[in-house]
Structure 1
Amino acid sequence: MNQQGAETEQDLRARVPDERRATLAALELAATLSHFDQRLDRMEGVDSILRETAAKAQGLVEMQSWAFFLVDPETGDFTCALTDGPEDRLRFEREVDALIEDRTFAWVLGRNRAVLVPSGIGAAGRLLLHPLATSSGLWGMFVAFTGEGAESTDLGFYLLTVVFFSCASMLESYSLYRQLQQVNEGLEQQVADRTRELVSINSSLEREVEERSLAEQQLRRTLNEKESYRQHLEAVFSSIQDAIITVDLNGVVLNINAAAEKMLGIPAAQAVRMHHTALQLPCARACQDVLGATLGSGTPVREFRAVSEDGAQVMILGGTPLISLDGTFSGAVLSCRDITRLVSLEQQLRQRHSFSNIIGRSKVMQSLFGLLENLAAYDTTVLVTGESGTGKELVAEALHYNGARSGGPLVKVNCTALSESLLESELFGHVRGAFTGAVRDRAGRFETAEGGTIFLDEIGDISMRIQVLLLRFLESKEFERVGDTTPRRADVRIVAATNADLHRRISEGTFRADLFYRLNVTSVHLPPLRERREDIPLLVQHFVEQCNTELGTRVAGVDEKAMAALVRAPWPGNVRELKHTLEHACVLCRDGYVEAGHLPAELAAVESPPVRFDAAVSGPVSAAAGGAVPQPVAGGFGRRQLDARSITAAIEQAGGNKARAARLLGVGRATLYRKLRELDMSI
């Protein structure tokens, strides 16, 4: 009996290490499923991962010094984890604090690729930033000083993205592995403790039965705990939202999780032992292609985007080699993540950055969108103010097509394009014989716009007589055709626009105060482009896409230098000038990326301080002075100095180029031509 009891206990002790090794192997396999090409148990730690990543990055871009900032999972703060020189730690921390404060840091995180930015504390050189992020979250940021002349090719930046995505994936996998390793160490300690207890029980034959019973009870508890841990681990993998399918080297399904069951519409027991090509997957056979590529090459397939056959779902697929306990290649694991909602949210976010063809994500434009949305619902007179080229006509279209009168006509009148007599006839119409050439009755623009909206552009330049007639219509909704005495009525909404200072014109006696108050029931002011520079990248993307559609070009985008020049330009002609500039650049570029050499020469010659965006103010500020970006004053010409002498001097300095002279004067080209006509100058 004693010998039989001893053999049973020996068998029990032998079973404990086997179960422990099986648990460790399962945990290690789970931890390395999303790893790239290295064994997690051979990694020295986070520092070794970061140093190896920095060495690869330095092989792609020349760097003076570098640092890694990792995210604290509890506080969300960025902490300097490693630098190539301890003496540079304080310098990097100051740079990162400055970039976080001016929101450049958040901007780079949103792009998730390599970006070169100016120093946030005014130091010499530039900073290379690249987020460390995976599909499951953000791990940190890589920061490096590259020097003033450092450049990189698109391929170099693409390879940097690959390096840092690999780094983030290794950090994520290593963190999970360490957590699982700690759990395993706890299990090993428990098994060791219980094994020592069994050995101590066998030390006394007199207590053999009692010790055997105790050992059996303790071993049973250990096995129950292991089973509980195993069930917990299976529950974790079953709760993963990504569909996971495991196949052997022959492509036969070994196992699927709950998400995969839901995607396939069949239970796991039915899917097991089927060939993966026989599965009805909703990804137009892209899943089978990813599995076949992984099985054929033994290498991972990452971030493969696929669309379902009906186009209703967008998925990200990944294939990972399955490595057995002895280190041999034994199959593949397919992961499928549904990102349809994320794609929809991206589209909604782009829609939030525009309103009826008016584009902008700045604070002032978002407020403008809300104001236009409210005004569109009410049938009230609106006065739109702003410099030439800011898009006042687009505001009139937005108010009309988003309001109750969208089914009616939208009639536009340029009040400066006609003389006083012609404008009166154009607005109110005329009867036959009212003047020479009036051979028949003609309805005016107010009658044409019945039930809709009439847009009166450049309202500040109409004569006093037209002002009186317009005031009468605003007060009574009645008017008379030229040459007629019969009052007529028109149900129209009036939207007026001007780039003139109406308060100054009222004080000069050239504009009626009562008409101004009638027009200014509600007002909308469009800011100049120089006051919302953060909208320029969005506008650039929109106009490039528009040029590709209308001109047949194949421009992919704008490179860093050209974008910097566009953001820093003064833009006296505002959005209209930006649009024409990009048309010019796209015609020269035709395909590829617009470079600085494709921009007009006068735009490249404009110098302005580096621009950053400060959360404490509504617009861009100078990185050097910290105040509002000043408008360029070239050759001593001011914004208001539009007399004959200053205009002549500007045109002479521009070599006869009136577009460049307008920029020197700080006005739009149309304004310069209008002043030439007013001053009767024949230059």
Structure 2
Amino acid sequence: MSRDRDIILDSINEGVFTVDEHWRITSFNRAAEEITGIPRSRAVGQPCKDIFRTNICERRCALAETMRTGKPIIGKRITMLDIEGRQKPMSVNTALLKDQRGNIIGGVETFSDLSRIERLRKEIRREYEFADIIGRSHRMRELFDILPSIAESSSTVLIEGESGTGKELIARAIHSLSPRRRRPFIAVNCGALPDTLLESELFGYKAGAFTDAKKDKPGRFALAEGGTLLLDEIGDVSPAMQVRLLRFLQEKVYEPLGSLKSFKSDVRVIAATNRDLARLVKKGRFREDLYYRVNVMKLEVPPLRERLEDIPHLVAHFIARFNSLQGKEVAGISDDALACLMSHDFPGNVRELENIIERAFVLCRTGEIETAHLHSWICESELGGEAQQRGQLSLEQMEAAFLVNALRRHNWNRTRTAEALGMHKTTIFRKIKALGLKVPKG
């Protein structure tokens, strides 16, 4: 009987082991040997935690929970250490083991190695990510193409884009790709501080410069020495501060408050704004000479509504991140929920999308994010057809988004995706080619 059971278990592609009521392994199939690197002869008779070493063994053991509650667990993602100490991502299922009379005599656990799937995910991320910036749209790829060249230069950069589009991420990417990457990256929000505070924040001050100045304090220019300084929301600075910034950009020198001495500084400046500086120059609200100093290299970050095809990839990125941060196992997003997001105009851009997914995580414990987990007004705007009336969403963009979402849910396997969508696999291949999608082999 035991031999017949082993033959059956060895024919299964997933790793399988069973334990008795004392947590000692009673069977261990061939796939379990291959995945763990541990032979059956060594595993049988040993406590399961000594053989199947995972990140949940001590506190959140899936099999222990099943033995306690009597309820099976399906598709729980864990991390296992193999015999060589390498971490492997796994998916486990657990159930009770009963005899012919229905008495509980132990438990059974099956496990699958997700390493190949993780490699596929990394491959697709390489296609759609650049220095932590997510995007496969034409405009984002154009941005990715020129960032390395800009990073290699020492020129001042102006980044324009609406709030929430990721201007600071772009600035950090430029710094991390540049020869200055081992030196500090300092960001200052110029719009959040009044002139007097901004001046001391940027240039520092000497002891006695004002009533509470008990000792010298270095400014952000000094702290960023040899590195990069991001002047965020530079369009909000006053005319007086614009003069001081202009002098620094022209001469690379500054004076701390209360100092009679000028200090030379080796800092690369990146300016960012959600305003149209050229228009502010025409209105006389921004100095023309300063504008030309900061506008040596100009980058425009597109709003999310102009790169809707990036939404599925951004959603997948945020889901993976919140799963990791919150210890959840949200599998993805349903097509209906994705349709709602694709039809929303996102005035808050990527930051708004991140907040929407974070809220959905509060309501969604497992499975997929559904429309019920989204703000009602997001789906109402889609049902009302407002987005289509604004001409924001092309059929090609929607089709590409749905196809990528379906492929991701089926681990990029075209045949399984075709079956799920009720179409022939050659149709899937044809659509992937027609839509210009870069999809890893699944």
Fold match by TM threshold 0.5: yes
CA distance in 2, matches of 1:601, 1:452: 45
Are 2:308 and 2:393, in contact at CA under 8 Å, matched by a contact in 1?
no
Superposition deviation, residue 397 in structure 1? 1.0
Write out per-residue CA displacement over residues 443-463 of structure 1, whole angstroms, 9 at most, x where no aligned residue: 111001001111110000000
Write out per-residue CA displacement over residues 47-106 of structure 1, whole angstroms, 9 at most, x where no aligned residue: xxxxxxxxxxxxxxxxxxxxxxxxxxxxxxxxxxxxxxxxxxxxxxxxxxxxxxxxxxxx
2:154 aligned to which of 354, 379, 394: 379
Amino acid at match of 1:383: L
Residue 234 of structure 2 corresponds to residue 462 of structure 1: no
Residue matched to 1:604: 379
C-alpha change, 1:309 and 1:349, in structure 2 (3 Å) is: farther
CA distance in 1, matches of 2:118, 2:277: 47
CA distance in 2, matches of 1:603, 1:519: 38
Residue matched to 1:533: 308
C-alpha change, 1:368 and 1:433, in structure 2 (3 Å) is: same
C-alpha change, 1:523 and 1:431, in structure 2 (3 Å) is: same
Q: How does 1:176-575 map to 2 (within 5 A)?
A: 344=119, 347-575=122-350
C-alpha change, 1:485 and 1:344, in structure 2 (3 Å) is: same
Residue matched to 1:578: 353
CA distance in 2, matches of 1:350, 1:501: 32
1:590 aligned to which of 365, 373, 394: 365
CA distance in 1, matches of 2:336, 2:207: 62
Are 1:282 and 1:309, in contact at CA under 8 Å, matched by a contact in 2?
no
Are 1:457 and 1:498, in contact at CA under 8 Å, matched by a contact in 2?
yes
Are 2:190 and 2:231, in contact at CA under 8 Å, matched by a contact in 1?
yes
Q: How does 1:81-100 map to 2 (within 5 A)?
A: none
CA distance in 2, matches of 1:285, 1:611: 54
Q: How does 1:49-64 map to 2 (within 5 A)?
A: none
C-alpha change, 1:377 and 1:500, in structure 2 (3 Å) is: same
Structure showing greater Rg: 1
Identity, in percent, stands at 45
- What count of residue pairs does the alignment treat as equivalent? 307
CA distance in 2, matches of 1:284, 1:573: 47
Superposition deviation, residue 284 in structure 1? 5.9
Amino acid at match of 2:255: E
Amino acid at match of 1:525: E
Amino acid at match of 2:306: E
C-alpha change, 1:443 and 1:312, in structure 2 (3 Å) is: closer
Are 2:233 and 2:273, in contact at CA under 8 Å, matched by a contact in 1?
yes
Amino acid at match of 2:141: Q
CA distance in 2, matches of 1:361, 1:381: 27
Are 1:611 and 1:622, in contact at CA under 8 Å, matched by a contact in 2?
no
Write out per-residue CA displacement over residues 441-488 of structure 1, whole angstroms, 9 at most, x where no aligned residue: 211110010011111100000001111110111011001111222110
Are 1:611 and 1:620, in contact at CA under 8 Å, matched by a contact in 2?
yes
Superposition deviation, residue 577 in structure 1? 0.3
Amino acid at match of 1:459: I
Write out per-residue CA displacement over residues 532-557 of structure 1, whole angstroms, 9 at most, x where no aligned residue: 10110110111112112223333211
C-alpha change, 1:380 and 1:341, in structure 2 (3 Å) is: farther
Are 2:158 and 2:299, in contact at CA under 8 Å, matched by a contact in 1?
yes
Superposition deviation, residue 512 in structure 1? 0.5
> TM-score, normalization: structure 1?
0.41
SS in 1 for 2:153: coil
C-alpha change, 1:313 and 1:541, in structure 2 (3 Å) is: closer
C-alpha change, 1:575 and 1:593, in structure 2 (3 Å) is: same
Write out per-residue CA displacement over residues 560-590 of structure 1, whole angstroms, 9 at most, x where no aligned residue: 1111101111100000000001111110112
Write out per-residue CA displacement over residues 608-651 of structure 1, whole angstroms, 9 at most, x where no aligned residue: 64989xxxxxx964449x9xxxxxxxxxxxxxxxxxxxxxxxxx
CA distance in 1, matches of 2:218, 2:287: 27
SS in 1 for 2:191: coil
The gaps in structure 2 that reach 5 residues or longer are 1-6, 8-28, 41-80, 90-113, 399-442
Q: How does 1:104-119 map to 2 (within 5 A)?
A: none
CA distance in 2, matches of 1:344, 1:383: 36
SS in 1 for 2:269: strand
Are 1:415 and 1:456, in contact at CA under 8 Å, matched by a contact in 2?
yes
CA distance in 1, matches of 2:335, 2:217: 55
Could you say which structure has the greater relative contact order, defined with CA pairs below 8 angstroms and 6 or more residues apart? Answer: 2
Superposition deviation, residue 354 in structure 1? 0.6
Are 1:529 and 1:574, in contact at CA under 8 Å, matched by a contact in 2?
yes
C-alpha change, 1:282 and 1:600, in structure 2 (3 Å) is: closer
C-alpha change, 1:558 and 1:393, in structure 2 (3 Å) is: same
SS in 2 for 1:416: helix
